[in-house]
Structure 1
Amino acid sequence: MSTETNGAALPKAVARHAQASDLYRAVWRWHFYAGLLILPFMITLSVTGAIYLFKDEVDRFVHAGFMQIDPVATHRLAPSEIIAAALSAQPGRAIKYTDPADDTLSTEVTVQPDSGGRMAVYVNQYTGAVLEARPDRSTFSWTLRYLHSFRYFGATPRMMIEIVGGWSILLVLTGIWLWWPRGRREGVLSVRGPVRRRVFWRDSHAVTGIFTAGFIVFLAVTGMPWSSVWGAKVNEWANGSNFGYPAGLRTEVPMSDEHLDHIAKTSWSLEQARIPQTAAPAPGMTPIGLDAAVDSFTRLGLHRGFSVALPQTATGVYSGSVYPDDLSQQRVVHLDQYSGRPLIDMSYGDYGPLGRWLEFGINTHMGQSFGLLNQILLLLACLGIVFLAVSAAVMWWKRRPSGRLGVPPLPSDRKVFCGLFAILGIGGVIFPLTGASLVVMVLLDWIWQKTRPALAPSV
């Protein structure tokens, strides 16, 4: 009887083993494709992101010549005098005044010349000396930020943010499945073999991946708000149709067609926020002026380092905004340019639940929520991601057949792809551009399978 039982159990065990092997091959194949598609981008994002975590420190070192000054406790020029000094060196129209975050930093004035792009003029607020005039947002940190977000290359390449984010989540999920011990002890949390052997790189890749998996998913999700499709749509959901402001905020004032993001650095939640308008002035009314506006923003308690966008028309407003590392101090205040009355005053606490969650994620993504600890943890995560890319390349190089790409083998039973593609499809619906790229990859894989036998004889 036991012989018959064992004889019946053997085919079932073989079948289960074959199914497990087929599923492993299917997951491995798509883990390979995900890495092939995005690892170069992840290296770029990791390197630029790791440096950007220390943007303030790097900027003050690289641009010390015009950012760092010696404070004079007894004398500081008025904002209007600082702007006059900036315009004497760079003729044009002053459009923004940025109060220094501390006394050892210079004051930045943004000027629109009669022709050409905006210029950033740095002025010593104690002596009135103009220290530098350069294109606006051309500092090291701004260049790095544009490289990291792909904005440096225009609107279309920014779509890669969403594609890379979605595929990196896929990379993590398939990687965890491949790492899962399944009764193994070696190579799970330890590394075997010497450096020259492939098993060393396989184990190093797997162990590093399991420790960085959570960070990769977090960075992918919190980086999504900067994507041009998913990010823009979620921004609309977060703020509804309240002129780009969080739902419930009082906005019963005339609105212009200008957006806050066009005139000053702003938070993600307020990129689409529209600038209010001052009512048409009565005869004889005169603007309060920048000096009074800055005094008002100071009395209202805006955190140091706030920017003031100057009104450019008779119905414009003074827009004060600040986004320090402390989220609770984020704030935007728009003042009537004639009466000085606040038209809209909002802070982080006024965001909706989705907006607050996303802003916290973005703030942490940029290394600003928990000080040095936040920076160090994400720096280690970025280094881990770079190592994952390097170790994946080494593994591929060591296992690839001569003259071939080395794509992991197809499962014998193609039905195992059904469940995998169903899961991938759900992710594709959540992240549309990732879904579109997934369809392209499926088609390319199908073409590869169809054409490979015809190419085999010549290989």
Structure 2
Amino acid sequence: MSTTSQQTGKRHASDLYRAVWRWHFYAGLLVLPFMITLAMTGGLYLFKDELDALIHADMKRVAVQEATQPPSSLISAALTAHPGKAVKFTDPATPESSAEITVKTAGGERLAVYVNPYTANVLGALDDRGTVMWTVRYLHSLKYFEPTARKLIEIAGGWSILLVLTGLYLWWPRRKGAGGVVSVRGKPKSRTFWRDTHAVTGLFVGAFIVFLAITGMPWSGVWGAQVNQWANGNNFGYPSGVRVEVPMSDTRLSDQSSTTWSLEQAQLPESSTSSTSMTPMGIDQAVATFDELGLHRGYAVNLPNTDTGVYTGSSYPNDLSQQRVVHLDQYSGERLLDMSYADYGALGRWLEFGINVHMGQQFGLANQLLFLAVCIAIILLAVSAGVMWWKRRPEGKMGVPPLPSDKRVFRGLIAILAVGGLLFPLVGASLIVMLAIDWLLIRPLQERRLNSRTA
């Protein structure tokens, strides 16, 4: 190979490296603040049950006694302390757990009232979903903010994937014996130390970041909502195998309480009112029926609020195979619909599995500890990126990586970015905005500075 060809090849490789580095910088600029927040809140939420039981021990933990009171007595006690209408009864998950009664007050508020299942003593009350871990969950998903803000989750997810892929390219060893591949050189005072820390950490957790980004997409504002509608929006949203000819209401299961992603579009069946002599069976009989059907302990029972309403027992334990939703006719106790994880379609099962692993539930403590380590590593990635940038950037400047000498190298990179934008529309829109800023503002400024130095 001629010297000229070698020089051309080296220049092309250098240009491609600069282009990738530039977009890695932009991706980090946009995503790292979100990744730190998501990692911190996500790391806490992995231990939601343990932390809630500790923080709210005065309301959630009870001493075990011989016999429990019937659900109707627990509901009566809750309504005596907090007048209103009971809308949900949550079975104690363990012998040491309290029962939870959701009450809608006369003022329209929803309270979670905690009752000792053995003595029917009211232990306290919080706003519905008012525990510390519900707060952490809402912060994690940006649900406390406007719907527009929640769409940032989709953008952050797409850009984090771009961050990992470009980071992998930048890490890839190009010289034999190159350091900083799987080891960290230097000391904390040097930029090399932080560069290697960033690169090696990214190597080991990059695949996990991509997994978390993809499995977090179902909750996003545009992509997640559209895919959910497409996957679960037909025939009342019920999975294949459980669609039966029963009267259906206009109420969705998700309107009453939290449910799985695959059942967000599902509508409730209606109880039969063909016999005027029929009387409701009551919560005690409904709970006894759910117990006989073998719902996992800790299941919730939504109470009927109309003449055609149903008792809905829903259980979403860590073990996906035990997830189940059962609707009972409030008069006859007949099972109208009975759904479990096995009834979901292939897409629903895949997404639910990914979500369950994402939340640290599928594989017990090992799942929690692994993703806690990933969350810590993400924070380390963000911190090391910030330190590395601060040490590299010219004084008083942003430190955007230099332009490639041949700008045609951007064409292939932009084509790859466009494919990602088509898959995730909000990510595509943000890419266009970033391209415009780079092309119209940042690039001309860098070129003027370069020309002034060479003049």
On the 8 A contact 1:238/1:246 being kept in 2, the answer is no
Question: In structure 1, which of residues 49, 54, 66 is the aligned counterpart of residue 42 of structure 2?
Answer: 49
Letter in 1 for 2:123: L
Trace 1:12-411 onto structure 2 (pairs within 5 A): 12-73=5-66, 75-184=67-176, 185-411=178-404
Letter in 2 for 1:216: I
Q: Which moved more, 1:301-310 or 1:146-155?
A: 146-155
2: distance between equivalents of 1:437 and 1:331? Answer: 39
Letter in 2 for 1:339: S
2: distance between equivalents of 1:132 and 1:447? Answer: 59
2: distance between equivalents of 1:327 and 1:357? Answer: 11
| Cα shift readout 1:14-47 (whole Å, capped 9, x = no counterpart) | 1001100000000000000000001000000000
Residue 376 to residue 453, structure 1, CA distance change in 2 (3 Å): closer
Cα RMSD over matched residues?
1.6
On the 8 A contact 1:239/1:352 being kept in 2, the answer is no
Tell me how far 1:281 sits from its aligned partner: 4.2
| Cα shift readout 1:410-447 (whole Å, capped 9, x = no counterpart) | 11111111110111111111111111111111111112
Q: Is the partner of 1:132 in helix, strand or coil? A: strand
| Cα shift readout 1:231-287 (whole Å, capped 9, x = no counterpart) | 112223332502121234223212112111121221111122111111234222111
1:452 is aligned to 2:427: no
2: distance between equivalents of 1:454 and 1:420? Answer: 20
1:429 is aligned to 2:428: no
| Cα shift readout 1:272-310 (whole Å, capped 9, x = no counterpart) | 211111123422211111100001111111110100000
On the 8 A contact 2:403/2:443 being kept in 1, the answer is no
1:413 is aligned to 2:406: yes
Q: Which moved more, 1:206-215 or 1:272-281?
A: 272-281
* Unpaired runs of at least 5, structure 2: none
2: distance between equivalents of 1:447 and 1:70? Answer: 67
Q: Percent identity, please.
A: 61
Q: Is the partner of 1:282 in helix, strand or coil? A: coil
Q: Is the partner of 1:12 in helix, strand or coil? A: helix
Tell me how far 1:117 sits from its aligned partner: 2.0
* Unpaired runs of at least 5, structure 1: 1-5
1: distance between equivalents of 2:350 and 2:234? Answer: 19
Letter in 1 for 2:193: F
| Cα shift readout 1:310-346 (whole Å, capped 9, x = no counterpart) | 0000010000000000100000000011111011101
1: distance between equivalents of 2:277 and 2:446? Answer: 85
1: distance between equivalents of 2:179 and 2:386? Answer: 22
Q: Is the partner of 2:144 in helix, strand or coil? A: helix
Tell me how far 1:125 sits from its aligned partner: 1.0
On the 8 A contact 2:324/2:341 being kept in 1, the answer is yes
1: distance between equivalents of 2:233 and 2:149? Answer: 27
Give the alignment's TM-score, normalised by structure 2.
0.96
Q: Is the partner of 2:237 in helix, strand or coil? A: coil
2: distance between equivalents of 1:248 and 1:158? Answer: 34
Tell me how far 1:451 sits from its aligned partner: 5.1
2: distance between equivalents of 1:154 and 1:145? Answer: 15
Letter in 2 for 1:52: Y
1: distance between equivalents of 2:385 and 2:181? Answer: 17
Letter in 1 for 2:89: Y
On the 8 A contact 1:71/1:104 being kept in 2, the answer is yes
2: distance between equivalents of 1:216 and 1:276? Answer: 40
On the 8 A contact 2:232/2:265 being kept in 1, the answer is no
Query: Across the two proteins, how many residue pairs are aligned to each other?
Result: 451
On the 8 A contact 1:239/1:247 being kept in 2, the answer is no
Tell me how far 1:454 sits from its aligned partner: 9.6
On the 8 A contact 1:224/1:231 being kept in 2, the answer is yes
On the 8 A contact 2:233/2:265 being kept in 1, the answer is no
Tell me how far 1:157 sits from its aligned partner: 1.3
Letter in 1 for 2:99: T
2: distance between equivalents of 1:60 and 1:449? Answer: 51
| Cα shift readout 1:56-92 (whole Å, capped 9, x = no counterpart) | 110011000110100112x211001100000001111
